[in-house]
Structure 1
């Protein structure tokens, strides 16, 4: 074994170049004719379940998706009858409730063994009384949960200016876009009963909890007072507040009919607008409903809805991978991808302007095909890194210059970067009884800050410059004692450590921090040569770097070692062998969720991650083979 590892250290693993070549071919075969890539963005069954419930609430047929949706939902059910948030996750009560109700709406008899098992799993976890707020809202829409048990949020919040706590802009953009329509929905308290009862989901003895809002302190009293106010016959100014919300919502519909390019604000905006009298054949409603079709996927696994689509992110990563693999910048696939990305740059305004200096111009990129209101720093930084690998035309240089100015303007007061907004850190939002559905804020994070530093460094900004010095200090202070960094948008410490080492190592300003990170990376390597980390690490830090080996996480760890200057060592060579041995038909299998939406609550399996990151890592590894 020692002799083998010594040879691997010399960079002579057979098959590394062949694996790279096969991966390049696989990637090129999946490029769209217009230049972009977009892999499936797999989450959990709530996306499909809630789509079924949306159709039911709006009175729309589901015949065309019925069989496929049933196949998908039942195919994701576990042996204990439950559904989870990610691959091999523990049972999740709310996810299981929503899947159960959707299957009933799709026509399955409650006596079927699959539903009997699901019902048992729901009751074992306490029944609907213990569900999350979003699930309670869905049940309340159909009269299966009392609105009294749903936290109140007055529509009048729309009038609060940005300087006043609990205004809409205190919430992260994804929460903001969801809460705005829910202010209408919750105040309207609609009820459109289903043709069957869901009383079987209430655990006997918990009936009293259904009308109780879980809260304490001042916000419990505020919710109580709000509910007393709701009982009054007259609510001065409420109609004006709702009209203002309708105007706010309509102004944020994207060209593809979506809101924010993501499912939650989309479905609730459709419901809210319909409750405010907008018919289904209205242009806004029609575009919104039709746009959802683009997010649907159907294959042998059934019909399912993606929470989002990631073409900008995927295309930037694909460019970086192909360049690592040696593809010339002028090659046609890269030229088409670059042209598409440049056209996708967002130069207009959006909600991000609320906390930026007056007159700040746009210049970022969004994650999705259409999300012009919400460009983000993470995508923009990685797109710029990809464009710097391209032919430097005037169009590319101008796009990069605009992005550089925009990212600089988006830096938060602590010197670091968040994804979508500056200084979105007002913690009071988490005191709301409503705040149980995941991240409600978008504070600076290690991985986004690292990508911004990496971008500015590539553009020639010195690490001691006023723009970067505070950000670098932020990263130094955020390093875990064990040597890793937290990953906000990827699972988890393996991802965060890769991002930060990729930013800091080339600067040669903090070799001790990087050395600690490299040591941690080598220490958590699995016996099979790969790396893995379960989503459980967001709930329990002892799982940092612990999990079955995955293709994407193995690649991140290899890229970390490569950035740190030990990419031809024993650990990286073992990682390369792991990837080479597990490549199949030019790519890799990866059922695990290695992307993060909301830490602890919502996870993503990016289907392109399993391919593009191993290609990056192996391409760099193979380049060391003399």
Structure 2
């Protein structure tokens, strides 16, 4: 529910703003773990829960209680039209609805029940299970509900491709790489764990789409896939395939994290467990046992009016959340030697990574020193977390300043060294820009490469400016990249947050930090874009549909986090007019009595247009950030 527009004389009234900020800071303090970290729940969609249920059935570890609690959660997320969406308020998603229907059938739901009948009707009307994404077809094939011959073949021999060759595993983004390698084993084994039902009622009977022309890359890959399927059916070259599968297995095991997972995210985790089971690893093997045990740590249990439910976080974000929380507290005026700040700082320092990782494939001589997103993901630090943590911790008044400074120097050196050749920064790898994989039949869902983005590049540039490196060649190249990336309308695309509001909210403060004048035409165009997209209630919002439908760019229900992003840009640009004041009033007027805010829309992005995230802490830390900077500015 949005607040009514307030009378003009209330705009930016500072007494109410300070009370609002104080309440928000106290609420944020109350959420800190005794060990020093913060972590908000990370919500995605029921695909995670459907696949968790199917995984347990495939591995033979399903229980009646877990099935019932998962099924109860999945049912609770179904909409009146019978569909499941990938984010609140989004359109019904075919693949998510298919996987939910199958999971509920496995849990014992009657296919004639009204909720499954409505789902099946939607699936048929949307093209049927035939039009579902490749990942969905793979899950169906695991249970004999889809032909393996009708899924794209992923030969494990990919593991042998040299690093200079297209489609070698290091040309994939880290999240895709860790998913692809185990899936090559699954694709080679083609296992079937039969179930006692069919999916006939989900089929539309429509013919498959014709192949693309053979002279196009996607058409050539489609025809290559036919050959690869034939190769697998014929038993492949047995010695070579066995060696490839062993090499892939070793690669997977070597990348298991301390919490038992892979990459700290659901897809490589579940596929790695399946692949290792197919390679003969028993469930009580330490690797398998740790993997299954670790998944429980990603499971959220709660009580509802209908009974207990369980749902799975696709990922967890304690390092990211803690870095943002420290930065927010400091901007709110909390002293740099505050007990909560120091406790969080010590926890973050202990989380800094000194282990090797796949990023060294392209930067072999670079010394490690970054931070990851999760509790345990030492193989994959990222530049975005690291930049934000440096920006926060450099302002901490730590009792061991030399220890802190050494950690920050290592982090800055690592992040700077991860700059891509074009001057921008991707999140996890440098120069991860080869688009060949995008044309594969397999790649019909999600981002599979990690090229530089405006939001990540902006965070790194802002970090370099704060560290006094504005005149460095790396910073200058980063600024040039950002200037080239500005959209014609004055905004910037947001890769990891929704969307142009996020990108613009990141880039404008970064450019100002490097010395760009608030009156520069680049900044004025961005400010004008933000003012033109402010909602009547004073807030800002951008619907996730903006990733696939340009008419939604800058449009959507107001949210606390997106409003804060816009305000951060306006404050950096030295704005003091009505858009700023109305945005501040929106945050004051929509605050809950406990000091927090409600946010019913997702504002985080996993894969633009395909996978969206609701960060439960965003609705608190970013408003604190914006309110603190507003009160700290001379107006």
Q: Deviations over 1:221-272 (max 9, x none)?
A: 2111112212224523110000000000000000000000000000000000
Report if the CA contact (8 A) 1:81-1:118 is conserved. Answer: yes
Q: 1:599 to 1:370 in 2, by over 3 A?
A: same
Q: 1:333 to 1:275 in 2, by over 3 A?
A: same
Q: Deviations over 1:415-452 (max 9, x none)?
A: 11000001111111111111112101000110000000
* Corresponding position: 1:103 with 2:109: no
The match for 2:449 is 441
Q: 1:478 to 1:234 in 2, by over 3 A?
A: closer
| C-alpha RMSD of the superposition | 1.9
Match for residue 460 of structure 1 among 465, 468, 489:
468
* Corresponding position: 1:450 with 2:453: no
Query: CA shift at 1:214, angstroms?
Result: 12
Match for residue 541 of structure 2 among 515, 532, 540:
532
Q: Deviations over 1:394-430 (max 9, x none)?
A: 2210110000110111000011100000111111111
Match for residue 503 of structure 2 among 479, 490, 496:
496
Q: 1:30 to 1:3 in 2, by over 3 A?
A: closer
Query: CA shift at 1:541, angstroms?
Result: 1.8
Query: CA shift at 1:348, angstroms?
Result: 1.6
The match for 1:161 is 162
Match for residue 558 of structure 1 among 558, 567, 573:
567
Match for residue 616 of structure 2 among 604, 607, 620:
607
Report if the CA contact (8 A) 2:156-2:185 is conserved. Answer: yes
Superposed, 1:144-543 pairs within 5 Å as: 144-203=145-204, 205-206=205-206, 209=208, 216-233=218-235, 235-236=237-238, 237-300=240-303, 302-356=309-363, 358-392=364-398, 393-462=401-470, 464-509=471-516, 511-543=520-552
Query: CA shift at 1:625, angstroms?
Result: 8.0
Q: 1:379 to 1:30 in 2, by over 3 A?
A: same
SS, match of residue 35 in structure 2: coil
Match for residue 569 of structure 1 among 567, 577, 580:
577
Report if the CA contact (8 A) 2:213-2:219 is conserved. Answer: no
Question: 2-side partners of 1:398 and 1:309: how far apart?
Answer: 27
Q: 1:212 to 1:293 in 2, by over 3 A?
A: farther
Question: 1-side partners of 2:543 and 2:297: how far apart?
Answer: 30
SS, match of residue 300 in structure 2: strand
The ranges of structure 1 where at least 4 consecutive aligned residues each deviate by more than 6 angstroms after the TM superposition are 210-215
* Corresponding position: 1:594 with 2:600: no
Report if the CA contact (8 A) 1:41-1:306 is conserved. Answer: yes
Report if the CA contact (8 A) 1:342-1:395 is conserved. Answer: no
Q: Deviations over 1:451-497 (max 9, x none)?
A: 000001000002x4211111111111111111100000000000000
The match for 1:118 is 119
Query: CA shift at 1:13, angstroms?
Result: 4.4
**Where does the alignment leave 5 or more consecutive residues of structure 1 unmatched?**
none
Q: Deviations over 1:253-292 (max 9, x none)?
A: 0000000000000000000000010011100000000000
Question: 2-side partners of 1:6 and 1:141: how far apart?
Answer: 63
Report if the CA contact (8 A) 2:211-2:222 is conserved. Answer: no
SS, match of residue 467 in structure 1: helix
* Corresponding position: 1:72 with 2:73: yes
Q: Deviations over 1:283-337 (max 9, x none)?
A: 0000000000111112245310000000000001100111111111111100000
Report if the CA contact (8 A) 1:348-1:361 is conserved. Answer: no
SS, match of residue 15 in structure 1: helix
* Corresponding position: 1:63 with 2:72: no
Aligned length: 619
Further displaced range: 268-277 or 386-395: 386-395
Further displaced range: 159-168 or 505-514: 505-514
Report if the CA contact (8 A) 2:42-2:615 is conserved. Answer: yes
Question: 2-side partners of 1:448 and 1:47: how far apart?
Answer: 26
Question: 2-side partners of 1:128 and 1:214: how far apart?
Answer: 25
SS, match of residue 52 in structure 1: helix
Output the TM-score relative to the length of structure 1.
0.96
Match for residue 586 of structure 2 among 565, 578, 584:
578
Q: 1:222 to 1:127 in 2, by over 3 A?
A: same
Output the TM-score relative to the length of structure 2.
0.95
Q: Deviations over 1:173-201 (max 9, x none)?
A: 00000000000001111000112222221
Q: 1:460 to 1:625 in 2, by over 3 A?
A: closer
Report if the CA contact (8 A) 1:160-1:167 is conserved. Answer: yes
Question: 2-side partners of 1:233 and 1:416: how far apart?
Answer: 44
Question: 1-side partners of 2:291 and 2:128: how far apart?
Answer: 33
SS, match of residue 45 in structure 2: coil
Q: 1:115 to 1:272 in 2, by over 3 A?
A: same
Query: CA shift at 1:615, angstroms?
Result: 1.2
**Where does the alignment leave 5 or more consecutive residues of structure 2 unmatched?**
none
Query: CA shift at 1:80, angstroms?
Result: 0.7
Question: 1-side partners of 2:483 and 2:232: how far apart?
Answer: 50
